[in-house]
Every structure is written in structure tokens, then in C-alpha cells.
Amino acid sequence: MDRLIKIGWYALLIAMCGDIAFSLLMPVFYKGYSISKMSISALGNPKSPVRLPFNIWMFIEGILFLMAIPAFYKMYSPVSKGLTIASAIFIAAFAIGACIFTCFFSVNESKAVITMASKIHGAGSIIGFMLFLSEPLLIAILSFKSQEGVICGISIACFVLALVFFVLFVMSDKEEFSRTIIANEGLWQRLNLLFMYMPLGIVAVKSIVGP
């Protein structure tokens, strides 16, 4: 059982590191794609030259996140079962809504083109991101209850930064900000992910390495 738990932590690290890496490396093979201006989901649009590998990765990423939930639950359920269940639900929502749904329901290259698939993708992604946004805060509370002050402090800082970049990501789509720095949708999304992932990454590394 302990081996399976450790595999769960490795799965979590691979999912998070892989997500950041793929979002930065795949654009190299997509002429005209802007890392700072375009969302990560745009890599999977029907006209994208990297659509197939991107969609396959998003499915794998979602499965890896789901595999990590038992490890997370075993670690924190003795601290607070309620908060741990909430965290597990948020991780699952992100895995399904923002990862697996992306594989089957893609957005279009232009946001002006709206299809049923892009609507489903948008709904799943928004729900997944909004719930997962609370993850650093929940880890901060669980770490505080576990008397892990350093992780608690880092998690609070990450929550604040993730929230700031999420707000910028949402605002970037507004017409009134189209000619300002706020329009850098892709940049804000990647930074938002980085700080949402960081507390989980620290917990995973700590759990694998041991005391």
C-alpha cells in the first residue's frame, strides 16, 4: 500500500511538471502561436499541428491527478477529514474538467467561433480552475493544523499570487484591456497554474523524500 501511495505522489509531480513543460515546449512546433497571448487550451484546437499529442497528454495528465488523490487523502485525512475530502474533490474536478474534458472537447483557434464542444470545454475548465484555485489555501490550513509553518506560509503566498494571476487571466479576455499588458492571457494562465501547483509540489516532494 505504501508503494502505491508513493506512486500517487510521483504521478502528481509528473502531472504538474508535465503540464508546465508541455505548455512551454509545444508552441515551438505551432507557428503563429503566442505563449503570452494565447491560452494553453488553444494548443488543442482543430487547426493546431500539435493537437494530437496535446490532447493525449491532457488525458494522461487528468488520470495522473486522479491517481494522486489516495496519497493526498491518506496524508491529510487524520488532520481534517472534511478539508481533505474537499481538497480531493477539487483535485478531481480539475483533473476531469480542466484536463480530461480538454482532450474530448476542444476550443477553436478563434474565440469568435463558438461550438458545443467549446462551450462544454469552457464550462468544465472554468469549474475545474475555480475549485482548484482554493487548493493552496486548503493546503495552508491543513499544514497549519499539522504544525508545518513553512509549508503553510508558502501556500498562503501561492494562493494570493494564484488569485491575482487568475483575475488577470479572466480580465485578459475583456475588450477594454485588449491593447494593454492585461491582454497577455497565456502568460497569466501559466503563472496561475505555477502557483496553484507549487504547494502540492512541495508536499509531494516532502512525502517522497521523507522526514
More confident residue, 91 or 39: 91
Q: What is the pTM of this model?
A: 0.90
- C-alpha R_g of the chain: 17
Q: Residue 187: CB partners within 8 Å, gap ≥ 6?
A: 35, 36
DSSP codes, 76-130: HTTT-HHHHHHHHHHHHHHIIIIIIHHHHSPPPSSTT---HHHHHHHHHHHHHHH
> How many folded domains does the chain comprise?
1
Can you give the pLDDT at residue 191?
96
Q: What is the pLDDT of residue 104?
A: 76
Residue 197 to residue 161: CA distance in whole angstroms:
12
- Residue range of the domain that includes 64: 2-209
C-alpha cell at 202: 512541495
- Amino acid 113: pLDDT: 54
